[in-house]
Amino acid sequence: MKKIKTTITLALLLFAASFYSFTPLNDAPEKAPIEMPDGCHYGQCQAIAKSTGVQCKHCVSERGDLYCWQHK
């Protein structure tokens, strides 16, 4: 009987561990660059989102670039 109890305890521990691993981290750092509200230093990304038809609001990172780092 003791062996069964140990197995159940292990199963519960594994269940708890897997549950915790699926919990999203709220304080994960954002990978996207900070958007500049008023104009861009080198211009705005010219890419148009296919799903919404709205122009990308990101700024290009280098002079002469037409697209942001995400749309290159």
Q: Where along the sequence are the contacts to Zn ion (CB under 5 A)?
A: 45, 47, 56, 58, 68, 71
Phi/psi of residue 59, nearest 5 degrees: -95, 150
Q: In this structure, are residues 3 and 26 in contact, taking their beta carbons and an 8 Å threshold? A: no
Which CB sits closer to Zn ion, 6 or 55? 55
Q: How far apart are CA 51 and CA 25, in angstroms?
A: 28
In the complex, least distance from residue 62 CB atom to Zn ion, rounded to whole angstroms = 13
Q: How far apart are CA 40 and CA 20, in angstroms?
A: 41
In the complex, least distance from residue 45 CB atom to Zn ion, rounded to whole angstroms = 3
In the complex, least distance from residue 53 CB atom to Zn ion, rounded to whole angstroms = 14
Which CB sits closer to Zn ion, 1 or 54? 54
